[in-house]
Amino acid sequence: MKSVKVVGLLASPRRYGSSFKGLMLALKAAERFGAETEWYHLYQMDIKPCLGCVSEDIKACKYPCIIKDDMKKIYDALVNSDGFIIATPVYWYSPSGVMKNVIDRLTALENMIHIDGHSWLDGKVGGFIATGNDSGAMFAIAQLMSIMNSMGVVIPPWSMAYTNELGDPLENSAFVTDSLNVGRTVVMMIKAMRGEKVDRWYDPELYDWYEKELKEWLINLVKEEEAKAEKPWKDPNWLNSK
Amino acid sequence: MKSVKVVGLLASPRRYGSSFKGLMLALKAAERFGAETEWYHLYQMDIKPCLGCVSEDIKACKYPCIIKDDMKKIYDALVNSDGFIIATPVYWYSPSGVMKNVIDRLTALENMIHIDGHSWLDGKVGGFIATGNDSGAMFAIAQLMSIMNSMGVVIPPWSMAYTNELGDPLENSAFVTDSLNVGRTVVMMIKAMRGEKVDRWYDPELYDWYEKELKEWLINLVKEEEAKAEKPWKDPNWLNSK
Amino acid sequence: MKSVKVVGLLASPRRYGSSFKGLMLALKAAERFGAETEWYHLYQMDIKPCLGCVSEDIKACKYPCIIKDDMKKIYDALVNSDGFIIATPVYWYSPSGVMKNVIDRLTALENMIHIDGHSWLDGKVGGFIATGNDSGAMFAIAQLMSIMNSMGVVIPPWSMAYTNELGDPLENSAFVTDSLNVGRTVVMMIKAMRGEKVDRWYDPELYDWYEKELKEWLINLVKEEEAKAEKPWKDPNWLNSK
Amino acid sequence: MKSVKVVGLLASPRRYGSSFKGLMLALKAAERFGAETEWYHLYQMDIKPCLGCVSEDIKACKYPCIIKDDMKKIYDALVNSDGFIIATPVYWYSPSGVMKNVIDRLTALENMIHIDGHSWLDGKVGGFIATGNDSGAMFAIAQLMSIMNSMGVVIPPWSMAYTNELGDPLENSAFVTDSLNVGRTVVMMIKAMRGEKVDRWYDPELYDWYEKELKEWLINLVKEEEAKAEKPWKDPNWLNSK
């Protein structure tokens, strides 16, 4: 049986915050339903801003981008995947600037339509997690969905999870269940497109699985990650040293 | 073989304007790829605004809505469909108010999740056409996509067509090709979810089909419809008399 | 001294719900800082959808709209005002369909730019309140702001209040304070444009005023309004009988 | 008489493209109506992404940001200004990633509300230019407006200019006139808030001024800038070498 590959993109500076928690849940659920997963912490990568070459020459923008940096890893991971999950903090009602730079650079995959006739993201399946402590999550998700669909991405049912209030999102059972379902729905859609029947698209009972089998694991993982974090806000040279 | 049913919703006052043209193209393409289609002209129906019953009682909002009007026809058409295509003019960067009233009323299908455990739009496939003579089309489409996905709708690749400039959209080959592809991608996704292999999601050659087989038909249809239109802006009592 | 006139538009079916509460607070604050106020309950008015006449003839859309209905009252109130406050429930991340119909119809004031050279909303000052129990408030407010600014409206600092969670918004001190400040900032901007100095644009101490002088009044008002409400969801013929 | 200071932010990689043209027009108009101006080319500055310190401690985010880079120049320029104009390319219906990083970092000015009681952008006046060759400009502008207003910024009437089609925007008289008016309306609002009477907010006749006095100057400036540009898409090490 053909494997299912799902890539996670974490667009938060923290690998122990709310976006991280949502992404870990989504990827665990993706695995439970048969996917192989890998994920990237965008803030720890060297990804430069897009130079907008298409405005000079429609064919100038193509894979691999003329800028040589870690974006190559993201390009290759996405091209080799069947789907992906973006987890971003909500900064001012939108994805983080780091995520936006990655989006701008993804033009090199989408614009292959002008080189070999199809977007290299065509038919991939996308899921979206946006976390914040105030309003703006759906505004950010609407941006992500419309952008990704314009690049050829399939949006499966209920392909979103978000928070818009203070507090640990792991105490928010709707967020936990929705995050798990983001991972599940991405995999189910990949399978549906291969002819597998999907009985239902949203499974509220995944929360029970979280309580029984994931909760302790995730809380420990978050603690470990937080303990070894370089705490950038205490060491502002952190990013510079990358 | 199981049939494929696609419903069109026209949210423009005119059944001969840009949204109409886009919708006719999308439905023709849907038929070409195997769908049965039907469509509704929302402006000629009696559809009242949502009363927001969920804010009183989460279980008060369900199919059929307590308001007895033509929305029942839309509910039933969508429930019996495999997918739908919304064609709306861009009024102030958003769908028309008439379309927004329909969206608000669709809560009665989505909210069935609190009655029988699943949204009645769950797994339907959606496509979107937005026409205007200025900026705002993608803003309107991002609203439609994020809303419909929140109701359980699948968004297939390239599920959008739009105009943002003056002039006859039938002179705009990108719009024509995109509109045809909206119909095609909705049907392809319905079939993909039934196990049919999709080689590519966007077919630029549909434009040739339009030139050879659809153009004359559509131009004539538009003329006929315009000739028999009640020209509401010349008879402001048009709507009142409904 | 020239008077300051502020108009409130309530776009919720309920005149005792969250939008109503926010609007009453904003208008009370507007009065405290010198404004005369009046407000309209859009759901209890006969306001038909826009026919998009501009798409036929750029000069066909003008005050008064060819459709004869209660929109005339809104046109006249806004034209005679110095500013306005829109209070809408968040229905699917956007203003209600009833509000959207009013926005579409306001084209008749904005489009006067093609008749007598200026928008009749030019230089009016706008404030925005959006209430819901989930995400989407800022998405709705961004729509309102960008639309109104495109019609010539001034957006003063902090011109927004919203809720995005369940519960009585009067228990949410941020919402109460923000709503009061929406009324205050609209009036302050009107005065600033007349040469009055504004020391600060957001006054957190208005909450104390609410607790001391407004809370009891508002709770009673809400009770009275709720008692006499026609409870449309119990009588679905309510709207039909208008 | 107190001076009027307006800052321009160019968020395009090119200092000779559409955003540049719009910004130069807006700043020239601002000068004509009495402002001193300066502008920054964000792509040529070292501005790192926001670390989201507020999510750790609401008081951790303040001026000057813990990250030491060129953002300090932007902070100081804005704090010392009366208003600003953002000119960004439309990358995927949103401001460029570089602009988004600047927005995220501006939290350090806005969040001063938790340090000394008011946002340091409070009462500044903002204008917005977004240029692209496809749909999405108003989506980008709605993001900028709602974000900036949430930081305390005043949005004057008609505070926007945009393109959404291919071609030289200087051949687009609406864009030229709108860009000039962005500069004018920002200055007029600053003056209005100082008590000066504003007869009208949009001046269509500025286009004549452009034709007579600005066109040749601007075309030459663009040529000069393009000639000396480092053409990053021909030298992808350009950014790395900064």
Instruction: List the CATH number of the domain containing C24.
Output: 3.40.50.360
- Name every residue whose Cβ is closer than 8 Å to that of residue D31 and which is 6 or more positions away in sequence: D37, D183
Looking at the structure of chain C, the number of domains it has is: 1
Q: What is the pLDDT of residue C230?
A: 74
Could you tell me the two tokens for A175? Answer: 């967020």
Assess if residue D37 is contained within a domain.
Answer: yes
Instruction: Give every residue of chain B whose pLDDT is below 50, as ranges.
Output: 242
Q: Which chain B residue's Cα is nearest to C89?
A: B52
Cα(A117)–Cα(A139) distance, rounded to whole angstroms?
32
CA D116 to chain centre: 26
Go through C88-114 and write b for each residue having 16 or more CB atoms within 10 A of its CB, e for each that does not: bbbbbbbbbbbbbbbbbbbbbbbbbbe
| Cβ-based neighbours of A44, under 8 Å, separated by 6 or more | A15, A242
What ipTM score was computed for the predicted complex, to two decimals?
Answer: 0.95
pLDDT digits (tens, 9 = 90+) for C146-161: 999 999 999 999 999 9
Mean residue pLDDT of chain C comes to 94
Ramachandran category for residue A213: left, alpha or beta (phi over 0 → left; psi -120 to 50 → alpha): alpha
What pLDDT score was predicted for residue D97? 98
pLDDT digits (tens, 9 = 90+) for A99-117: 999 999 999 999 999 999 9
Closest CA to C153 of D177, D189, D83, D190: D189
pLDDT single digits (tens) D151-167: 999 999 999 999 998 89
Question: What is the percent of chain C with per-residue pLDDT over 90, rounded to a whole number?
Answer: 90
Q: What are the tens digits of pLDDT across the range B69-114? A: 999 999 999 999 999 999 999 999 999 999 999 999 999 999 999 9
Q: What is the pLDDT, as a whole number, of residue B147?
A: 98
Give the pLDDT confidence score for residue D60 in this predicted structure: 93
Q: List, in sequence order, every residue forming a beta bridge with B160; answer none if it has no partner.
A: B128
Asked if residue A240 belongs to a domain, the reply is: no
- Which of C230 and B134 is assigned the larger pLDDT? B134
Query: For chain B, which residues lie within 8 Å of any Cβ of chain C, measuring from their own Cβ?
Result: 12-14, 17-18, 43, 48-53, 55-56, 60, 66-69, 89, 91-98, 100-104, 107, 133, 139, 143, 146-147, 150, 232-233, 236, 239-240
d(CA B232, CA B98): 15
pLDDT of amino acid B242: 46
Are the C-beta atoms of D137 and D90 separated by less than 8 Å?
A: yes
Query: Which residues of chain D have a CB within 8 Å of the CB of A95?
Result: 100
Cβ atoms < 10 Å from Cβ of B69: 16
DSSP 3-state percent helix, strand, coil across chain C (nearest 5): 45, 15, 40
- Whole-number Å distance between alpha carbons of B27 and B35: 8
Structure tokens at D48: 């790192």
By CA distance, what is D242's nearest residue in A? Answer: A48
- pLDDT tier for residue C242 given thresholds of 50, 70 and 90: very low
pLDDT digits (tens, 9 = 90+) for A150-195: 999 999 999 999 999 889 999 999 999 999 999 999 999 999 999 9
Q: Which chains touch D (3 or more CB pairs under 8 A)?
A: A, B, C
Cα of B165 vs its chain's centroid, Å: 21
Say if D84 falls within a structural domain. Answer: yes
Chains that touch C (3 or more CB pairs under 8 A): A, B, D
Task: Mutate one of B14, B47, B51, B237 to test the C interface: name it (highest C CB count within 10 A).
Answer: B51
Distance CA B21, CA B210 (A): 12
pLDDT at C129: 98
Residues of A with CB under 8 A from a CB of D: 12-14, 17-18, 43, 48-53, 55-56, 60, 66-68, 89, 91-98, 100-104, 107, 133, 139, 143, 146-147, 150, 232-233, 236, 239-240
Hey, which bits of chain C come out as E strands?
4-10, 35-41, 83-89, 125-132, 160-164
Indicate whether D235 belongs to any domain. Answer: no
Q: Which residues of C touch B67 (CB under 8 A)?
A: 236, 239
CA distance D166 to D163: 8
Give residue-wise pLDDT tens across range A36-76.
999 999 999 999 999 999 998 999 999 999 999 999 999 99
Q: What is the pLDDT of residues D72-84, one digit of tens each?
A: 999 999 999 999 9
pLDDT in tens, C33-72: 999 999 999 999 999 999 999 998 999 999 999 999 999 9
CA–CA distance, C62 with C109 (Å, rounded to integer)? 6
Q: What is the pLDDT of residues C84-93, one digit of tens each?
A: 999 999 999 9
Residue pair C87/C13 in contact (Cβ under 8 Å)? The answer is: no
CA–CA separation, D25 and A65 (whole Å): 32
A234 falls within a domain = no
Q: Report how far Cα C195 is from the mean position of its chain's Cα atoms.
A: 25
CB spacing of C164 vs A162 below 8 angstroms: no
pLDDT tens for each residue of D114-137: 999 999 999 999 999 999 998 999
Q: Which residue has the tokens 């600092």?
A: C157
Domain that holds residue B88: 4-240
How far apart are the C-alpha atoms of B73 and B89, rounded to whole Å?
Answer: 22
| Pick from A80, A1, A32, A9: nearest CA to A187 | A32
Are A169 and B168 in contact by the 8 Å Cβ rule? The answer is no
Question: If you write DSSP's letter for every residue of B191-211 in order, what string do you get?
Answer: HHTTT---S-S--TTHHHHII
Tokens of A198: 């999907």
Does residue A239 form part of some domain?
A: no
What are A227-240's pLDDT values in tens digits?
Answer: 988 776 666 555 55
Above pLDDT 90, what percent of chain A?
A: 90
Inform me whether the pLDDT recorded for A213 exceeds 60.
Answer: yes
pLDDT at B241: 53
pLDDT digits (tens, 9 = 90+) for D208-238: 999 999 999 999 999 999 998 877 666 655 5
Please tell me the distance from the alpha carbon of residue B3 to that of residue B180, in angstroms, as a whole number.
20
User: What was the pLDDT predicted at D230?
Assistant: 74
| C-alpha distance from B167 to closest chain C C-alpha (Å) | 10
Give the model's pLDDT for residue D240: 52
Nearest CB neighbour to B147, from listed C12, C66, C92: C92
The answer to whether residue D73 is domain-embedded is: yes
